[in-house]
């Protein structure tokens, strides 16, 4: 649809693909771009045909961070008072699975944006980093928190205190990225993953995502409680019955997302 200025956005069967499209600025995440991503996500969440979402970049970058030109002349009273970049949380609030397909730079807010997604696939030339320290600020959208939970204190400290980039393979070793592909194979692989995810019951998939996120955001005791409740809740769906019946009857399940 031609109404977006900073992203391209398409639906491909049960998959929604959001492509950051501000190549000249290495997809720097200006306010307008983030608002468009949020609008696309609103639409994809409303569309019951969509079972998984891919977020990807273009040209040399996934995204080279928050827009430094936009931040340059801001002052504390504005950013604090206006809760600057508050709407960035839209991605992590998405109930449907979001896959980041990272080819090229994922720096600062770009790395944080990838980590807001549920699964990160990377092209072998991708670079990840939190370079905020080099421009006199610090990560502001999860770089000191999500990165530390995933990679541990020593690695996270090294990245945020030096600002240096790491390769896709290093990111994979650290657990930030789940798989690395040759550049050209990244998007097809992300689509294949998204199709696999979207082939399951969409309602149960959302419960599953919620359960994993509980592990990430709560104590073990609370997380186990939430998991048990959600597991019980799958018994309120037709798809749970259908999935188990199909197994017993040795046929493929026909999920109705109900």
Q: Does 66 bind ligand CO8 (CB under 6 A)?
A: yes
With CA atoms as reference, report the closest residue to 187 among 5, 19, 41. Answer: 19
CB of 172 within 8 A of CB of 188? no
Closer to ligand CO8 by Cβ: residue 61 or 190: 61
CA angle 87, 92, 96 (to 5 degrees): 120
- Interface residue with ligand CO8 among 19, 44, 67, 91 (CB under 6 A) is 67
- Interface residue with ligand CO8 among 15, 18, 28, 114 (CB under 6 A) is 28
CB of 174 within 8 A of CB of 147? no
CB of 120 within 8 A of CB of 157? no
Shortest Å distance, C-beta 85 to ligand CO8 = 3
Q: Does 128 bind ligand CO8 (CB under 6 A)?
A: no
- Residue 8, strand partner residues: 19
- Is 132 annotated as catalytic? yes
CB of 173 within 8 A of CB of 128? no
Q: Does 68 bind ligand CO8 (CB under 6 A)?
A: yes
Binding mask 136-155 for ligand CO8 (x = CB under 6 A): ----xx--------------
Shortest Å distance, C-beta 174 to ligand CO8 = 19
Distance of alpha carbon 58 from the chain centroid: 16
Helix (H), strand (E) at residue 174: helix 168-174
Binding mask 91-120 for ligand CO8 (x = CB under 6 A): --------------x-xxx-----------
Shortest Å distance, C-beta 232 to ligand CO8 = 36
- Interface residue with ligand CO8 among 26, 50, 54, 100 (CB under 6 A) is 26
- Is 112 annotated as catalytic? yes
Binding mask 71-90 for ligand CO8 (x = CB under 6 A): --------------x--x--
- Is 51 annotated as catalytic? no
Q: Does 132 bind ligand CO8 (CB under 6 A)?
A: yes
Helix (H), strand (E) at residue 234: helix 220-234
CA angle 73, 74, 80 (to 5 degrees): 170
Integer Cα distance of 116 and 142 in angstroms? 8
Integer Cα distance of 229 and 34 in angstroms? 34
Distance of alpha carbon 37 from the chain centroid: 12
Closer to ligand CO8 by Cβ: residue 146 or 240: 146
- Interface residue with ligand CO8 among 11, 14, 21, 25 (CB under 6 A) is 25
Alpha helices in 175-237 (DSSP H): 186-198, 202-217, 220-234
Closer to ligand CO8 by Cβ: residue 55 or 64: 64
Indicate which residues carry an active-site annotation.
Answer: 66, 109, 112, 132
Which residue ranges make up the site for ligand CO8 (CB under 6 A)?
Answer: 25-26, 28, 64-69, 85, 88, 105, 107-109, 131-132, 135, 140-141
């Amino acid at each position: 649809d031609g109404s977006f200025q900073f992203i391209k956005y398409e639906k491909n069967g049960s998959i929604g693909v959001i492509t950051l499209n501000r190549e000249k600025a290495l997809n720097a995440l200006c306010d307008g771009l983030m608002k468009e991503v949020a609008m696309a996500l609103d639409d994809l969440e409303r569309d019951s045909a969509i079972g998984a979402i891919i977020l990807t970049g273009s040209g040399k970058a996934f995204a080279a961070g928050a827009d430094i030109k936009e931040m340059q002349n801001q002052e504390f009273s504005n950013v604090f008072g206006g809760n600057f970049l508050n709407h960035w949380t839209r991605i992590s609030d998405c109930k449907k699975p979001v896959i980041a397909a990272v080819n090229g730079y994922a720096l600062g807010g770009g790395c944080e944006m990838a980590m807001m997604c549920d699964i990160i696939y990377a092209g072998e030339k991708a670079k990840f980093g939190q370079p905020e320290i080099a421009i006199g600020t610090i990560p502001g959208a999860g770089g000191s928190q999500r990165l530390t939970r995933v990679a541990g204190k020593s690695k996270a400290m090294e990245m945020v205190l030096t600002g240096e980039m790491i390769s896709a393979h290093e990111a994979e070793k650290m657990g930030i990225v789940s798989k690395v592909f040759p550049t050209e194979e990244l998007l097809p692989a992300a689509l294949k993953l998204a199709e696999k995810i979207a082939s399951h019951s969409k309602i149960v998939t959302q419960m599953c995502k919620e359960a994993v996120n509980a592990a990430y955001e709560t104590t073990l005791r609370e997380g186990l409680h939430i998991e048990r409740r959600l597991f019980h809740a799958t018994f309120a769906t037709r798809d749970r019955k259908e999935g188990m019946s199909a197994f017993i009857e040795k046929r493929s399940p026909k999920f109705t997302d109900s």
